[in-house]
Amino acid sequence: MNVINIDLGDRTYEILVGENIDLVQSLNGIVSDFRVAVIVTNVIVAGYHLDRVRNSLARIFEDVRVIELPDGESHKSWDSLNNIFNSLLSWQCDRKTTLFALGGGVVGDLTGFAAATYMRGIPFVQLPTTLLAQVDSSVGGKTAINHPLGKNMIGAFYQPQLVICDFCTLSTLPDRELRAGLAEVIKYGPIADIAFMEWLEQNLNAVMAKEAAALAHVVQRSCEIKAWVVSKDEKESGLRAILNFGHTFGHAIEAGMGYGVWLHGEGVSAGMVMAAELSRRLGLVDADFVRRLISLIQLAGLPTKGPVLDANDNAGRYLELMRIDKKAEAGEIRFVVIDGPGRALVRSAPDSLVREVIDACCE
Amino acid sequence: MNVINIDLGDRTYEILVGENIDLVQSLNGIVSDFRVAVIVTNVIVAGYHLDRVRNSLARIFEDVRVIELPDGESHKSWDSLNNIFNSLLSWQCDRKTTLFALGGGVVGDLTGFAAATYMRGIPFVQLPTTLLAQVDSSVGGKTAINHPLGKNMIGAFYQPQLVICDFCTLSTLPDRELRAGLAEVIKYGPIADIAFMEWLEQNLNAVMAKEAAALAHVVQRSCEIKAWVVSKDEKESGLRAILNFGHTFGHAIEAGMGYGVWLHGEGVSAGMVMAAELSRRLGLVDADFVRRLISLIQLAGLPTKGPVLDANDNAGRYLELMRIDKKAEAGEIRFVVIDGPGRALVRSAPDSLVREVIDACCE
Helix residue ranges, H only, chain A: 23-26, 43-45, 51-58, 78-90, 105-117, 131-132, 175-192, 194-208, 212-232, 247-257, 264-281, 287-299, 314-322, 351-361
Average pLDDT for chain A: 95
CA closest to B95 among chain A residues: A326
Is residue B163 located within the same domain as residue B221? no
pLDDT tens digits, B96-144: 999 999 999 999 999 999 999 999 999 999 999 999 999 999 999 999 9
What is the structure's pLDDT at B57? 98
List residues in chain A touching B: CB distance below 8 A: 35, 78, 82, 85-86, 89-90, 92, 94-96, 116-121, 142-144, 147, 149-150, 152-157, 235-236, 323-324, 326, 328-331
Band of residue A328 on the pLDDT scale cut at 50, 70, 90: confident
Find the length of chain A. 363
Residue after which a domain boundary falls, among A146, A172, A198: A172
> Does residue A146 carry a catalytic annotation?
no
3-state secondary structure of A146: strand
> Does residue A332 carry a catalytic annotation?
no
What is the structure's pLDDT at A74? 86
The mean-pLDDT minimum among A145-149, B143-147, B342-346 falls in: A145-149
Distance of alpha carbon B59 from alpha carbon B56, whole angstroms: 5
Which of B142, B152, B154 is the closest to A85 by Cβ?
Answer: B154
What is the structure's pLDDT at A333? 94
Band of residue A308 on the pLDDT scale cut at 50, 70, 90: very high
Which of B85, B119, B329 is the closest to A326 by Cβ?
Answer: B119
Query: Which of A49, A54, A75, A240 is an active site residue?
Result: A240
Please calculate the CA angle A84-A85-A91 and round it to the nearest 5 degrees: 90
Question: Could you give the C-alpha distances from B121 to A248, B86, B157, in angstroms and in order?
Answer: 19, 16, 11
Is residue A191 located within the same domain as residue A282? yes
Instruction: Provide the CATH number for the domain around residue A330.
Output: 1.20.1090.10
CA B117 to centroid of chain Cα atoms:
20
CA B49 to centroid of chain Cα atoms:
20
Is residue B95 located within the same domain as residue B219? no
pLDDT tens digits, B144-185: 999 988 889 999 999 999 999 999 999 999 999 999 999 999
Distance of alpha carbon A337 from alpha carbon A347, whole angstroms: 7
Q: Tell me how close the Cα of B97 comes to any Cα of chain A, in angstroms.
A: 9
Is residue B190 located within the same domain as residue B329? yes
Is residue B117 located within the same domain as residue B184? no
**Model pTM score:** 0.93
Q: By C-alpha distance, which of B67, B97, B95 is closest to B83? A: B67
Distance of alpha carbon A261 from alpha carbon B201, whole angstroms: 67
Question: Could you give the C-alpha distances from A234 to A135, A157, B30, in angstroms and in order?
Answer: 17, 8, 22
Other Cβ atoms closer than 10 A to A240: 19
Cβ(A161)–Cβ(A125) below 8 Å: yes
Is residue A131 located within the same domain as residue A8? yes
Q: Tell me how close the Cα of B210 comes to any Cα of chain A, in angstroms.
A: 35
What residues make up the domain containing B337? 175-361
Question: Could you give the C-alpha distances from A324 to B11, B32, B88, in angstroms and in order?
Answer: 27, 21, 10
Band of residue A130 on the pLDDT scale cut at 50, 70, 90: very high
Distance of alpha carbon A237 from alpha carbon A344, whole angstroms: 15
Distance of alpha carbon A167 from alpha carbon B276, whole angstroms: 56
Average pLDDT for chain B: 95
Which of B118, B119, B154 is the closest to A118 by Cβ?
Answer: B154
Residue after which a domain boundary falls, among A111, A140, A172: A172
Domain count, chain B: 2
Distance of alpha carbon A47 from alpha carbon A53, whole angstroms: 11
Q: Is the pLDDT of residue A98 over 90?
A: yes
Q: Tell me how close the Cα of B113 comes to any Cα of chain A, in angstroms.
A: 9
Residue after which a domain boundary falls, among B108, B138, B172: B172
What is the rounded average pLDDT of the residues B20-34? 95
List B124's β-bridge partners, or say none.
B99
Instruction: Provide the CATH number for the domain around residue B38.
Output: 3.40.50.1970
Question: Could you give the C-alpha distances from A282 to A279, A323, B166, B354, in angstroms and in order?
Answer: 5, 20, 52, 72
Q: Is the pLDDT of residue A95 over 90?
A: yes
